[in-house]
Structure formats: structure tokens, C-alpha cells
Amino acid sequence: MGPGLVLVGAVALLVVVTIAKGIRIVQQAQTMIVERFGKYHKTLTSGFNLIMPWIDKPRSVDWHQTLVTPAGDSYSRRFRTEKIDLRETVYVFPRQNVITKDNVVVEIDALIYSQVTDPVRATYEIANLPDAIEKLTQTTLRNVIGEMELDHVLSSRDMINAKLRAILDEATHKWGAKVSRVELKDINPPRDIRDAMEKQMRAERERRATIITADADKQSRILQAEGIRQSEINTAEGDKQAKILHAEAEAAWRLKVAEAEAQAIERITAAIKGTGGDPARQGPVPPVCGLRLRFALSDAVSLLLVRVGVGRFAFADLLLVAGDEGDDGPLTDARFHLDAAEDAYPLPVVAGLQERLE
């Protein structure tokens, strides 16, 4: 092999290498930063790109990825690359200990969803973008959790996520990245704290059960009292109506008695006038007591007391008791009492009254 052949081979090899260095193929959703003589020249887009060989050179950046094995274990892989991934990337940070405001140490796992929006800033504004985001997340998480008590931390994950996202998004904006979401994957208090929380939860549930039982018993007693009250009200209303009806019946009875008394007075007056005696010409007679009279009325009455004047200085009390006797119609027994003064009604008049009544 002569020197000319070797030279041709070397030139051909140099041409191939030069062409290879001038061709850059960038995959979809990736980009590449090209420098010319050490200074930023342009950004290559996805697809086939040509650069000046030996003059233009892609800029390498430090990157790392968190990979998860099928067993669930995760590990980080650090490397240098010329291509920058523009897709949204998930950063899984290792579990870290954080102290709360009430001095409780908790272990927290966090997930960060970020995306490179400006490859030039991500290359020149920060040396290692993934490491910077991870460290910033750790410090920010300690600051946010350190201002809160444990109970608030466990019940306010959404608020913590929102605070972390706002702080990280503002800090990473000048690095050409955007933090879209921050999630607290897990919050693990110490074992003794978890046991105490479980006891507290059990006691709280027992307290709620006791309160619910007491409320149910209270409502039951209230309903029973309402039922008794309503029953007594109904009973009182019934007694009231019964008394009203009884009073109306008694009023009607008294009206009937008054009507019967009026009829009796008329008959007694007619009987006295039928004797034909003149009290003014009769001498004094002793009082007549306990005279039993018997006469018939057209309308029967239960009890009748009649006081009738039988002279200028005398009057008669008649206690009438109604009843049925045989087929002759209602009969009335009367007890006749005559109070007489010196000028009392004469005995013949009384005898005539008795005969007239019978």
C-alpha cells in the first residue's frame, strides 16, 4: 500500500467524520443547544438538522432521572446529555424527615411534575436543573411544614401542595422550567404518635357515639313527654266537653222543673180558690205540719218544691216527688207544711185544699 492510497483513505475518513459531525437528528419533544466557538448559536428543533462541523458543537448538560423498578424500589441515574427533554417530567424525591411546629418528626415523600419551557435558560441559568429543583423542594417543604402543627399537616395536603407549587413555580421560572404540580405522596408520623392518634380517634368516636345515644334518649323522652302532655290535653278537653254537656243538660232540666213548678202553682192556686173560704172571717188555728198530699200532674217532674201563700200571714211549702204508679199516669207525692201566725189560714181551708188535691 503506497503513501498516496493512505492519504486518500485518511481524507475519505476525514470527510465521513466531518459529515457525521455536521448532521444532527433530534427526536420529537427534544431539543439541542448548539454553540459556535463556545458561544450560544442556535437551538435545534426536532428532526433533521445541519450544523457546521468542527465549528458548531452541541452543549452537554447534567441531568438525572429517577427510575422505579418492578419491585417498587426507586433509584436515580445521573448522566450528561446533549439533548434536553421538553416533556413533563416526574421527579420522585427520596423520603426525608421534616419537623412540624409542635416538634414532631414526620417522614414525607414528595412528587414534582415539572417541564422545561426555555431550553436556553435551563442550560445557562442553572448548572443542574433537576438537582436544583430537588434541593429547592426539600428546603421549601421544610419551611412550609415547620409552620404547621401535625394535625394541620395531616388534614391540609391540598394547601401544602398549593403553597409548594406557587413557591417552586416562581423560583424555577428564571431557570426556564415550570412546576405544574406538587404532590405529597406519603406523610408518616412516628409509631408512638400514630398509636396516640389511633387512641384519640377511638375515643372521639366513642364520644360521638355517646352523644348520639344521649341525643336519641333525649328525643325519646321529649316525644314521650309530648305524648303524655297531648293525652292530658285531650283528657281535659273531653272533661270540659262532658261538663259543658252536663251543664246544658242540667240547665234544660232546671227549665223543665221551672215549667212544672209554674203548672203546679197554677193548680194549687186554683185549688185554694175552689174552697170558697174567707180567711178574714176565720179565727186563729194552730199550725199544721207534715200534711201528706197526693195529686196527679199532666207532666211528670223529678223533684218539685213549691212555696205558695195561703193567707195574709201564712205560706205553704210543697216538696213534690214525681213517679209512675199504675196506669193512672204520673203521680206526685207532696209533703205540705203550713206556717201560720195568729191570723193564719183556717183549718177548713187546708182540709178543702187537701181534698181538692187528692
DSSP E strand stretches across the chain: 23-26, 30-36, 39-44, 47-50, 56-58, 61-68, 74-81, 83-85, 89-92, 96-99, 105-116, 177-188, 291-296, 303-309, 315-324, 330-339
- In the predicted model, what is the mean pLDDT of the chain? 75
34 pLDDT tier (thresholds 50, 70, 90): very high
Q: What is residue 127's predicted lDDT score, i.e. its pLDDT? A: 85
Select, from the ranges 162-166, 306-310, 345-349, 351-355, the one with the highest average predicted confidence (pLDDT).
162-166
Using the predicted structure, report yes or no on whether residue 340 has a pLDDT greater than 70: no
At 255-287, the pLDDT tens digits run: 888 888 888 778 777 766 665 544 444 444 333
340's grid cell: 201560720
Helical pair 191-273 and 347-357, crossing angle rounded to 10 deg: 110
At 286-296, the pLDDT tens digits run: 333 333 333 33
When mean pLDDT is compared across 17-31, 62-76, 87-101, the lowest value belongs to 62-76
Cβ atoms of 181 and 133 closer than 8 Å: no
Using the predicted structure, report yes or no on whether residue 341 has a pLDDT greater than 70: no
Query: Which amino acid, 13?
Result: L
Q: What is residue 275's predicted lDDT score, i.e. its pLDDT? A: 57
What's the rounded mean pLDDT across residues 130-153? 87
Q: What is residue 68's predicted lDDT score, i.e. its pLDDT? A: 66
228's grid cell: 303524655
When mean pLDDT is compared across 52-66, 124-138, 160-174, 308-322, the lowest value belongs to 308-322
Of 53, 63, 54, give the one whose Cα is nearest residue 83.
Answer: 63
Helical pair 129-146 and 157-172, crossing angle rounded to 10 deg: 140
Of 130, 28, 173, give the one whose Cα is nearest residue 86.
Answer: 28
Question: If residue 61 lies in a helix (H) or strand (E), which one and from where to where?
Answer: strand 61-68
Q: What is residue 120's predicted lDDT score, i.e. its pLDDT? A: 92
Q: What is residue 182's predicted lDDT score, i.e. its pLDDT? A: 86
Please count the residues of the chain: 358
Q: Is the dihedral of CA 234, 240, 246, 251 positive or negative?
A: negative
Cβ atoms of 323 and 264 closer than 8 Å: no
Cβ atoms of 23 and 48 closer than 8 Å: yes
Q: What is residue 1's predicted lDDT score, i.e. its pLDDT? A: 57
Q: What is residue 80's predicted lDDT score, i.e. its pLDDT? A: 87
Q: What is residue 131's predicted lDDT score, i.e. its pLDDT? A: 86
Put simply, whether the predicted model's pTM sits higher than 0.85 gets the answer: no
Q: Is the dihedral of CA 168, 170, 175, 177 positive or negative?
A: positive
Helices (H) and strands (E) counted in the chain, each on its own, are: 7, 16
What's the rounded mean pLDDT across residues 20-36? 89
Cβ atoms of 106 and 116 closer than 8 Å: no
Using the predicted structure, report yes or no on whether residue 330 has a pLDDT greater than 60: no
Percent of the chain with pLDDT over 90: 11
When mean pLDDT is compared across 37-41, 77-81, 119-123, 238-242, the lowest value belongs to 77-81
Fold of 61-189: Tetrahydropterin Synthase; Chain A (3.30.479)
Q: What is residue 259's predicted lDDT score, i.e. its pLDDT? A: 86
Cβ atoms of 180 and 113 closer than 8 Å: yes
Residue ranges of domains in the chain: 20-59, 61-189, 261-357
333 pLDDT tier (thresholds 50, 70, 90): very low
What's the rounded mean pLDDT across residues 126-139? 87
Considering only CA atoms, give the Rg of the chain: 62
Of 329, 266, 270, give the one whose Cα is nearest residue 296.
Answer: 329
Q: What is residue 327's predicted lDDT score, i.e. its pLDDT? A: 39
Q: What is residue 74's predicted lDDT score, i.e. its pLDDT? A: 67
